[in-house]
Amino acid sequence: MTLDLRVTRQLPATPAEVFEAYTDAEKQKIWFSILDEQPGIVEIDVDLRVGGQQTAVWGPSRDMLFRETQTFLEIDRPHRLVTESTGSTPDGMTMTTRIEVTFEATDGGTLMTVVQSGFPTPEIRDFFATEVMVGAFDRIEAYLVRTHGTEPTSV
């Protein structure tokens, strides 16, 4: 049995703008910490090509860093992105999942959908669905609102 999650968010920008915010290292460095009260560490490198990788390292301090390396499997700019993601927590726990992201134009902007599969337990999947992905969507939306001067359109 495979454990999957599917989450969506309506975002106030075009698919190209959302795709760019999601994949551009400099934009990610902004939205990763846009809602944090205290600035932490955010280091991101992106080689956006099939077979290329994105490496993100972030956390409140050097001794509390999370790390994620995504290998790009499919890129259909600005509609679809598929990666294999290996993440690790500061305590050394690791997990590898497959992430499929789609960017669909809508009247109000873009419907971004994330389907992530391969979770080891229902509890970890549910944590990602209710905390990790909600937080990521909140940050991307705050970035788009700030840079495009539009109002949030969350559903």
Residue predicted with more confidence, 154 or 1: 1
d(CA 62, CA 59): 7
| 21 to 78, 111, 115, 148: CA distances (angstroms) | 11, 14, 18, 12
Residues contacting residue 36 through CB under 8 Å, at least 6 positions apart: none
Q: Considering the chain, what is the average pLDDT of its residues?
A: 93
**Segment 6-29 mean pLDDT:** 96
Structure tokens of 61?
A: 């301090």
The pTM of this model reads 0.90
Q: Which amino acid is at 56?
A: A
Structure tokens of 73?
A: 């499997």
Instruction: Please give the pLDDT value at position 155.
Output: 41
Q: Which residue has the tokens 């997990």?
A: 95
State pLDDT tens for residues 48-78: 999 999 999 999 888 999 999 999 999 999 9
Residue predicted with more confidence, 149 or 110: 110
State pLDDT tens for residues 90-110: 999 999 999 999 999 999 899
Instruction: Please give the pLDDT value at position 130.
Output: 95
Instruction: Using pLDDT thresholds of 50, 70 and 90, give the confidence band for residue 33.
Output: confident
Instruction: Please give the pLDDT value at position 1.
Output: 62
154 pLDDT higher than 60: no
Residue 46: which H helix or E strand, with range? strand 41-46
